[in-house]
Homo-oligomer: A and B are copies of this chain.
């Protein structure tokens, strides 16, 4: 049925009606006083999500643009960079650093595993790095990395910690200042419940010392230019005004719910999803200790073709799950429970999954997955 579509991919995520309504407001000029007070309010609110005293820049490009803005303002050719890789987006971060001429040492912890702090400590003991690249929440595998642990190690060194928080920030607690994150990058179309088009980047005092001396070519991505504009509550270049309006509605929703409850909700949805998947006899890609609160990866286990499953889900039930990326293509599917998602979305996801598996003659007890998810919800566990 038209408009009965359930988008359960790790971004873009569904946009709440309140955010759509905010984005439908009349256009305003971005050099106006109205825009300045909007940006000022946004800055106050987004700092609560970032848990930072640093400036947070709201930039008009995707999350990858945010990662490039971080690199372009920090890296000069020949700089030593340590890349902590747990999947596709860890690789992307390393590739951006390479594009800017960095000497990147890539440590790949395996797709589905999290960063091993002992290995990081060992690397930091051997060499002085300009920057360390880490992924808070690896979208491609559903792995949550221990950014607090990584940050504690790096704080003792001259290296900057740049964190890709694209699919985590807003859904998973992050303490930018307490965890010594020098640059935290996220974007609009994940836990912030907005359409794609904005990136948010925070910059620590330690990072500014590097940024201000950086000689790499940068214009649209220039953070010093962004800083000059932000001092006047403005953006250096034309911002996506409607998304700024929508961002305030989204932040207002999150703050009204209460950030602790927002984070608890995501954990609860992940836990229910994992319980349901196990009850159906399917295998999870990741261990519980590093399970992402925003996206869950499930192995095909050979019982069915992943792409066939996704096709049935999409065509017959209107439900879209993500497939695997890179080496995991065809081996996993991913259910996002990110942003504008609550209990009933998990009921839909598992209800549809059960029916699609039954279509593919995978043996299961109808309702068994739902029952396991319900149990988590009834216990109110997080």
Q: Which A residues have a C-beta under 8 Å from some C-beta of B?
A: 1-4, 6, 16-18, 24, 253, 256-257, 265, 317-319, 340, 342-344, 347-348, 351-352, 354-355, 358-359, 365-372, 374-375, 377-378
Chain B residues within 8 Å of A354, by CB: 370, 374
Chain A binding site: helix, strand, loop or mixed by DSSP? helix
Q: Are A351 and B347 in contact (CB under 8 A)?
A: yes
- Interchain nearest-CB distance for A375 vs B (Å): 6
Q: Is the CB of B359 within 8 A of A367?
A: no
CA distance A371 to B374 in the complex (A): 14
Q: Tell me the smallest distance from the CB of A343 to a CB of chain B, in Å.
A: 6
Evaluate contact between A355 and B367: CB separation under 8 angstroms.
no
* Residues on the B chain within 8 Å of A352, using CB: 344, 347
Q: Which of B343, B351, B368 contacts A344 (CB 8 A)?
A: B351
**Complex: A348 Cα to B4 Cα, angstroms:** 13
Chain B residues whose C-beta falls within 8 Å of the C-beta of A368 in the assembled complex: 367, 371
Given contacts A367-B368, A367-B371, 13 further A-B contacts (CB under 8 A): A3-B18, A3-B253, A4-B342, A4-B344, A6-B344, A24-B24, A318-B344, A347-B351, A351-B370, A358-B378, A365-B367, A366-B372, A368-B371
**Which residues of B sit under 8 angstroms from A265, Cβ to Cβ?**
1
Q: Which residue of B359, B371, B374 contacts A378 across the interface (Cβ within 8 Å)?
A: B359
Q: Can you name 22 A-B pairs with beta carbons within 8 Å?
A: A1-B265, A2-B253, A3-B17, A4-B344, A317-B343, A318-B342, A347-B347, A347-B348, A351-B351, A351-B374, A354-B370, A355-B377, A355-B378, A366-B367, A366-B371, A366-B375, A367-B367, A367-B368, A367-B370, A367-B372, A367-B374, A370-B370
C-alpha spacing A375/B352, complex, angstroms: 12
Chain B residue at minimum C-beta to C-beta distance from A14: B3
Oligomeric state, in copies: 2
Q: Which residues of B contact A370 (CB under 8 A)?
A: 351, 354, 366-367, 370
CB pair A348–B355 under 8 Å, yes or no, is: no
CA distance A257 to B2 in the complex (A): 8
- Centre residue among A354, A371, A377 by max chain B CB count within 10 A: A371
Q: Which partner residue on chain B sits nearest A354 by CB separation? A: B374
Listed residue (A318, A351, A374, A377) with the most chain B CB atoms within 10 angstroms of its CB: A351
Which residue of the partner chain, among B2, B257, B365, B371, contacts A256 with CB atoms under 8 Å?
A: B2
Residues in B neighbouring A1, C-beta threshold 8 A? 257, 265, 340, 342
Q: Which residue on chain B has the smallest CB distance to residue A4?
A: B342
Which 4 pairs, one residue from A and one from B, show the smallest C-beta to C-beta distance? Answer: A367-B367, A366-B371, A367-B371, A347-B351
In the complex, which residues of chain B have a beta carbon less than 8 angstroms from the beta carbon of A18?
Answer: 2-3
> Nearest chain-B residue to A265 (Cβ)?
B1
How far apart are the CA atoms of A6 and B265 in the complex, in Å? 18
Complex CA–CA separation, A181 to B3 (angstroms)? 33
| Contact A344 to B317, CB < 8 A, known contacts A256-B2, A374-B354 | yes
CA distance A3 to B358 in the complex (A): 32
Q: A366–B355 contact, CB under 8 A?
A: no
Closest B-chain residue to A348, C-beta based?
Answer: B344
Q: Which residues of B contact A319 (CB under 8 A)?
A: 344
Q: Which residue of B lies closest to A356 (CB)?
A: B378
A354-B374 Cα distance, complex, nearest whole Å: 8
Residue of B nearest to A346 (CB): B351
User: Which residues from B are CB-within-8-Å of A6?
Assistant: 344
